């Protein structure tokens, strides 16, 4: 049977005459406003068991969605199920609103549903997943090249709390890659500059800013309540310290590093998976000599490179919070910007690792600066 296509005004007239108007959008879509008097049933639910929500097959059923496509498909499915008086509303809720027809706006957090609407459309995220993101706490050490893109996208994605630790101030030389900061904020503490930028992007975000150099004395205070920790540091002492603290506290550590035209990303989760997942020390039991690993100030770095690596770090954080996909645990992803090539290296846990070997007690924090200096 051909499905009738009717205007919103005609749908309202028929509804007032006794027809059943069904909004087949998802609940999060209906939460921002729906045609007054419409029955809200997601398309998949409606098609799975129409008899549980609709009257007899001879009743007049009108289907409405956002623009008209889903309602037509729902009508076709109901036609196959034996319903005989069906119509799809042309232009959907968007046209209904444009024509000023009666609308119901539930008393809900409209900002939440509008801001994260594209996430809410993903079955792998949905409202439950978005609530997980909003309840999550992510600790990030470093508000520079890696921290800037990672923090921006985590804020946009809806992570509820970002704990930022960095004792540096914004310098003009940072602006080539550290996109959280602006020329007007040169001389401002990086964590404060980051707080300004991130809060402007997403006012729902809570930023806890610590203008501190991370040390063995404060690392646990900064990361103890975090669900995930991001390594956005640019030096080996902090990387080893973060690794050891995350193993001790059982926190997943999302690692990133850049050098000239190349970058690396991995997830070190040995604290929660002893003997199954490696830690940073499994890969680098000893730090390289300082002359073999100069920092960005000494060796330079392609400005866009930290953006690529930082975004990959943010992706891993979101996956870990939502529990979706396959994290980079046990894998080191190498990126060569000049060749535009990714290469993956498998990592295995070191059964004799001084920090994460199964059954081994935490050895305690060390003088990481001296350790990395080889003295």
Q: Which domains does the chain have, with CATH numbers?
A: 4-108 (3.40.250.10), 119-373 (3.40.50.720)
Which pLDDT score is estimated for 32?
85
* Alpha-helix runs per DSSP H in 105-189: 110-115, 117-120, 126-135, 147-157
pLDDT tens, per residue, the chain with 375 residues: 789 999 999 999 999 999 999 999 998 899 889 999 999 999 999 999 999 999 999 999 999 999 999 999 999 999 999 999 999 999 999 999 999 999 998 888 989 999 999 999 999 999 999 999 999 999 999 999 999 999 999 999 999 999 999 999 999 999 999 999 999 999 999 999 999 999 999 999 999 999 999 999 999 999 999 999 999 998 999 999 999 999 999 999 999 999 999 999 999 999 999 999 999 999 999 887 766 556 666 778 999 999 999 999 999 999 999 999 999 999 999 999 999 999 999 999 999 999 999 999 999 999 998 888 876
Q: If you search the block for the tokens 């957090």, which residue do you land on?
A: 109
CA distance 113 to 326: 27
Which pLDDT score is estimated for 28?
87
**Which two structure tokens, joined as six digits, stand for 237?**
């002492």
Which pLDDT score is estimated for 24?
97
62 contacts 87 by C-beta, under 8 angstroms: yes
Which pLDDT score is estimated for 294?
64
Residue 292 exposed, middle or buried by CB count within 10 Å (0-12, 13-18, 19+): exposed
| CA 99 vs CA 7, 15, 32, 105: distances in Å | 10, 16, 17, 16
Q: Catalytic positions, please?
A: 296
Which pLDDT score is estimated for 290?
62
């Amino acid at each position: 049977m051909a499905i009738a296509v009717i205007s919103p005004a005609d749908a309202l007239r028929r509804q007032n005459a006794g027809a059943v108007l069904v909004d087949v959008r998802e609940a999060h879509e209906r939460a921002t406003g729906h045609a007054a008097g419409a029955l809200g049933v997601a398309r998949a639910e409606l098609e799975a068991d129409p008899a549980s929500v609709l009257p007899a097959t001879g009743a007049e059923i009108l289907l409405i969605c956002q623009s008209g496509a889903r309602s037509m498909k729902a009508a076709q499915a109901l036609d196959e199920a034996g319903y005989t008086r069906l119509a799809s509303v042309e232009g959907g809720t968007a046209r209904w609103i444009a024509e000023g027809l009666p609308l119901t706006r539930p008393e809900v957090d409209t900002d939440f549903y509008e801001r994260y609407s594209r996430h809410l459309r993903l079955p792998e995220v949905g409202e439950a997943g978005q609530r997980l993101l909003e309840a999550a706490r992510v600790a990030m050490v470093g508000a520079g090249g890696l921290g800037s893109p990672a923090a921006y996208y985590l804020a946009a994605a809806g992570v509820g709390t970002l704990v930022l630790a960095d004792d540096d101030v914004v310098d003009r030389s940072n602006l080539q890659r550290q996109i959280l900061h602006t020329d007007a904020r040169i001389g401002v503490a990086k964590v404060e500059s980051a707080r300004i930028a991130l809060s402007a992007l997403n006012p729902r975000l809570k930023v806890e800013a610590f203008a501190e150099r991370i040390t063995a004395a404060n690392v646990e205070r900064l990361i103890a309540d975090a669900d995930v920790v991001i390594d956005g540091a640019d030096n080996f002492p902090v990387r080893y310290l973060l690794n050891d603290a995350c193993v001790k506290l059982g926190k997943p550590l999302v690692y990133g590093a850049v050098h000239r035209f190349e970058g690396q990303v991995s997830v070190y989760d040995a604290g929660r998976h002893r003997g199954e997942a490696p830690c940073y020390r499994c890969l680098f039991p000893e730090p390289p000599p300082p002359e073999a690993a100069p920092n960005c100030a000494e060796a330079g770095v392609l400005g866009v490179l930290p953006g690529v690596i930082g975004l990959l770090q943010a992706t891993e954080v979101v996956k870990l919070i939502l529990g979706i996909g396959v994290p980079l645990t046990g894998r080191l992803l190498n990126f060569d910007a000049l060749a535009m090539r990714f290469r993956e290296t498998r990592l295995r846990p070191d059964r004799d690792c001084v920090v994460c070997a199964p059954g081994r007690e935490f050895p305690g924090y060390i003088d990481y600066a001296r350790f990395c200096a080889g003295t």
